[in-house]
Amino acid sequence: MFVTPLIATAFVRSISTARHSSSKVSTFAARLPRLSPSSFLPNPAAKQFHHCASTQQLDMYWNRETSKPSAFHEGEIIREARIIALSDPNDVYNEPLYYRPLPDGSKLLAVGSSAEDFDKEEIISQKPNVMFVSHPNSRGPLVELLKKFPSLEWVHTRSAGIDFIASEDLAKSNVTLTNAKGMFSSTLAEYCMMACSYFAKDLPRLMKQKNNIQWQQYPVLELRGSTLGVVGYGDIGRASAKLAKAYGMRVLGLKRNASSFSDPYCDHVYGIDGLHSLMAESDYILISTPLTEQTRGMISADVLSHCKQSAVIINVGRGPIIDENALIEVLKEGKIKGAGLDVMTIEPLPESSPLWTLDNVLLSPHNMDMTLTFMRESTEFFINENLPRFVKGKQLLNPVDKAAGY
């Protein structure tokens, strides 16, 4: 059964409810007046960044700090965007997609969280050609929908990581895949520098002394002159490097394709075969690579053995990139100084995990990119930037290599 749109005030639910609602489907014939999206757009005065990559390559990717709103809102519409959303119908962050007018030439056909939700003649007959994905359990339904709707041309995911939808079927399909790269980098870069300072200034000791009403001075470390190694020098890594440079740090990067890469914020870039060298040279090691079959377990016991005893591991990528048991061992044995972890192998982190009780671990519940507007901004990016490009036959932003996983 179809669920007609509710008025916006009735739509707003708690985030917890929105994330755990049951499978439903909605069609959208009428919409509420669209609110101004200006608060979700970047500062037009922000300067574009530049590095050795070509301007054409840079123009393919969005960055919420530096990118300017596109000029693709004018021009001839050459095709229609007939959208299905593999999403929770009660997801408050998708309200701009569900309840506001879309760009000319675009229409939302249905929303559902399972393939069966779209098994309706009124949907099938319209031959949907665009899929918006935000439901966390989308891998299986996405494969089914690719088979059900051969008319699909483009799949867009609201997240930057695609590990939750990656599959052999998707990789072999003919659809174009785009993501939300560049939407979450700035706040994760801030967390990276906070984690560096947490250990450099020994914040655990400060807080303990305050609780004990104890005045005892002690020496602290400077970030200036230390080295930040970035495993996965992409958008998040670059945003972190930019801040690290402001602190006077040296920055090393690691990229799959490093031979022709240079960047003003990166002092030296290694290829994959330079991972041991990066670990050995770095005082702070940021893990910001996406999770793929190649990166799963990449930071192994052997790799960790190359770290300085004073090194700090900071993970904002995905938990399984690090061998968590090996990390726990080196933390327990004092073979590295500490770890700042925003992601874990199992989330929520089990209460039995030793990570909870280790004094040299800074834990956060995978929320360091969770600003008040982060997901809504991501939905707005799909609506305001990529949909106009699609209907006017322009290059879509944030193309993803489906086989590589990013």
- Measured distance CA(229)–CA(271) in Å, rounded: 13
> Are 312 and 285 contacting, i.e. CB atoms less than 8 angstroms apart?
yes
Starting at the earlier edge strand, list the strands of the sheet with 130-133: 25-26, 106-112, 81-86, 130-133, 154-157, 176-178
Helix (H) or strand (E) holding 121: helix 121-124
Give, rounded to a whole angstrom, the gap between the first and last alpha carbons of the chain: 36
H or E element in which residue 387 lies:
helix 387-391
Contact 237, 262 (CB under 8 A): no
60 class by beta-carbon count within 10 Å (0-12 exposed, 13-18 middle, 19+ buried): middle
Determine the Cα–Cα distance for residues 373 and 370; give it in Å rounded to an integer. 8
What gap in Å lies between CA 75 and CA 62, rounded to an integer? 21
Closest CA to 27 of 59, 2, 52, 58: 2
Tokens of 14: 């708690």
Residue 265, CA distances (Å) to 43, 50, 198 in order: 22, 10, 22
What pairs with residue 339 in β-bridges? Answer: 313, 361
Angle formed by the axes of helices 185-200 and 235-246, nearest 10°: 50
* DSSP state string for 80-114: -EEEEEES-TT-GGGHHHHHSPPPTTEEEEEEESS
Q: What is the CA radius of gyration of the chain?
A: 23
Q: Which two tokens stand for residue 391?
A: 């209907």
Asked whether the beta carbons of 315 and 338 are under 8 A apart, the reply is no
Token pair for 307 = 């770290």
Active site residues: 318, 347, 366
In whole angstroms, give the CA distance from residue 86 to residue 142.
8
Which amino acid appears at position 139 of this protein? R
For residues 323 and 302, is the Cβ–Cβ distance under 8 A? no
